[in-house]
Amino acid sequence: MSAPQVIGVVGAGTMGSGIAQLAAQSGARTLLFDPVEGAASEGAERARAGIAKLVAKGRLDGDAAEIGARLEVAETLADLAACGLIVEAAPERLELKHELFSSLSRIAPEAVLASNTSSIPITAIARAAADPSRVVGLHFFNPAPLMRLVEVIAGLESSEEALAVARAAGEAMGRRVIDAEDGPGFLVNRCNRPFGLEALRLLQEQIADKETIDAIVRAAGFRMGPFELQDLVGIDVGFEVSKSFYELSFGEPRWRPSPLSAQMVAAGRLGRKTGRGWYTYAEGEPHRPADPPAPEPPEAEGLVVISGFLPIADELRELAEEAGYAVAEDSDGEVPWLIVECGPPEEDSPPLQGAPRVLLCAEGALQALDQGGSAAGFHALSPLGIVELTRTPATADVAAQRAEQFFAALGHRSVWVADAPGLVLGRILAQVVNECAFAVGEGVGSAEDVDAGMQLGMNYPQGPLAWADAIGLDHIVMILDGLREEYGEERYRTAPLLRRITAFHEHEHFEHEHGEP
């Protein structure tokens, strides 16, 4: 299927003008319409300026004036009659989209009609068209000229021909095209829901403050933490999306909005656009201090016993040996300087004793794993960033001190947080992976498209499912089961697909389970 030679865009705001820019860059004659007087001309000029900037930077081949000349202003909707594809980028109001799709299906009955909506079901939009089979979703990410991803969404009635036209157009625009079935948030926005929601839950429970949560997430390779991201997008925008997800799902516990978001909106603290959200934004001043460097590593001393079968245990053994520790998997009669337990012991094996201990808080909180004991707790994921430490009232000072010293000797900063399964990063990522597994298991998208979408659309340092493979699916399920046991909430139930892969394919990876590379 070849891309349409004439593409129409309805709506000349930021997204509409960006989509029109991509269409012109793809070689198509592009018609931009907006009912607001002067808006289409302004949007076309904005798109031409974007084209000129890309050409000047060497990121787009060709003559800027020639490419820009493909972009024309349409005076009326009727001017779009010759289009093979029309992309709607109007405000997110269903009644407005119904009016547009009803009119467009009469004006251009042979055209594929695509909505750039990020929140309204495509099936609901399509019912206003004369032929719902010609309606699809074509969801670009903001800013469209820079984000190299587009979702093609199949509504209940969308034909294969219409979907193929949309895919061909997205590919001609140089985007990575991923497929999604219709549903709340489609694929990428759905899979990313827990990134902010679980962070809000952590803050609500005072597991850590917002600065610490954001710092831990940044250290894992994200460009910004969840609270910084909420401020950038707009807390009110995120809250409305949360309410939409919850309503469309008829009360799915994983998508329950946070009362903290409601409180911030009620206070008018909406983020960067109001100068105050989770952080305060003053001109010329940073909203947060810079992340401190890793500590100067202290000298390694003595024997460290590192037990466990999870990949994090192997990584810690390697790092500890590089730091100069003597490393073993059991003490073999020698008194260790520190015991690091990474996961549950083998059945019937006695617990390691005789030295300060630090336990991986994955399958449960430290309080549950070491009832009445003196151990400290930690959690970290591969690749190691900030190591999170926790303690209970019974934790011995020597265990806490040696845990700090050990991870510093490995060259990693540590922070203290309150006790919970998975602590901060583990809990957020486990919920993200779980949502991805729900989406794949429900046929919303493929594992490969999930990972590509989360990297290209949400700037993840790596695809969450590939990341889960590297961490170990057992590790992810341990955290989810620990949270379910701790809270007794359906919010933390493990996706059936994730449970099935872990139970029946002990050494298999998530992507391999689905026949993907």
CB atoms within 10 A of CB 441: 15
| 118 among known catalytic residues | yes
Higher pLDDT, 7 or 502: 7
* Strands 376-379 vs 357-360: parallel, antiparallel or unpaired: parallel
Distance of CA 377 to the CA centre of its chain: 27
CA distance 295 to 95: 57
CB atoms within 10 A of CB 146: 11
Yes or no: say if 29 and 197 are a contact pair by the CB < 8 Å rule.
Answer: no
Catalytic residue of the set 118, 192, 258, 446: 118
**pTM over cut 0.85:** yes
CA distances from 208 to 106, 157, 191, 279, 389 (A): 56, 46, 23, 16, 11
* Strands 387-390 vs 376-379: parallel, antiparallel or unpaired: antiparallel
CA distance 80 to 491: 46
User: Position of tokens 């003559």?
Assistant: 63
CA distance 387 to 381: 8
**What integer pLDDT is reported at residue 91 of this predicted model?**
93
CATH 1.10.1040.50 in the chain: give the residue spans.
186-260+426-517
CA distance 235 to 237: 5
> Quick one: which of 12, 38, 255 has its CA closest to 144?
12
The residue type at 295? P
Q: Tell me: domain 186-260+426-517, CATH 1.25.40.10, correct?
A: no
Backbone φ, ψ for residue 72 (5° rounding): -125, 150
Determine whether 381 is exposed, middle or buried from the number of CB atoms within 10 Å of its CB (0-12, 13-18, 19+). buried
DSSP state, 276?
Answer: B
CA distance 41 to 494: 51
CA distances from 211 to 5, 45, 194, 378 (A): 50, 40, 18, 19
| 189 among known catalytic residues | yes
**What is the pLDDT of the chain when averaged over all its residues?**
94
Facing residues of 92 across strands?
Answer: none
**Which whole number is the average pLDDT over 36-58?**
96
Yes or no: say if 352 and 333 are a contact pair by the CB < 8 Å rule.
Answer: no
**What topology is assigned to 303-412 in CATH?**
Rossmann fold (3.40.50)
- Give residue-wise pLDDT tens across range 167-216: 999 999 999 999 999 999 999 999 999 999 999 999 999 999 999 999 99
Catalytic residue of the set 151, 198, 448, 513: 151
At CA 98, angle to CA 95 and CA 100, rounded to 5?
A: 115
Catalytic residue of the set 115, 189, 414, 446: 189
**What integer pLDDT is reported at residue 243 of this predicted model?**
95
Determine whether 390 is exposed, middle or buried from the number of CB atoms within 10 Å of its CB (0-12, 13-18, 19+). buried
| 151 among known catalytic residues | yes
Backbone φ, ψ for residue 181 (5° rounding): -85, 155
Higher pLDDT, 80 or 289: 80
Q: Which residues contact 517 (CB under 8 A, 6 or more apart)?
A: 448, 511
CA distance 27 to 84: 14
**Which whole number is the average pLDDT over 467-477?**
95
| 119 among known catalytic residues | no
- Give residue-wise pLDDT tens across range 399-434: 999 999 999 999 999 999 999 999 999 999 999 999
SS3 168: helix
**Which whole number is the average pLDDT over 347-356?**
68
CA distance 364 to 360: 9
**Does 505 have pLDDT greater than 60?**
no
Structure tokens at 235: 């807390």
The dihedral sign for the CA sequence 261, 264, 268, 269: negative
Structure tokens at 135: 């309606």
- Give residue-wise pLDDT tens across range 221-274: 999 999 999 999 999 999 999 999 999 999 999 999 999 999 999 999 999 999
| pLDDT over 90, % of the chain | 88
Catalytic residue of the set 88, 139, 157, 192: 139
Start-end of H helices in 26-153 = 39-56, 64-69, 94-107, 122-126
Q: Which residues contact 252 (CB under 8 A, 6 or more apart)?
A: 245, 246
Q: Which string of DSSP letters, residue by residue, matches 372-438? A: T---EEEE--SSP-SEEEE--TT--HHHHHHHHHHHHHTT--EEE----TTTTHHHHHHHHHHHHHH
What region, left, alpha or beta, does residue 138 occupy, with left being phi > 0 and alpha being psi -120 to 50 degrees?
beta
Facing residues of 357 across strands?
Answer: 339
CA distance 260 to 210: 12
CATH 3.40.50.720 in the chain: give the residue spans.
6-182
Yes or no: say if 388 and 403 are a contact pair by the CB < 8 Å rule.
Answer: no
**What integer pLDDT is reported at residue 347 of this predicted model?**
60
Q: Which CATH superfamily is domain 6-182 in?
A: NAD(P)-binding Rossmann-like Domain (3.40.50.720)
The dihedral sign for the CA sequence 172, 176, 177, 183: negative
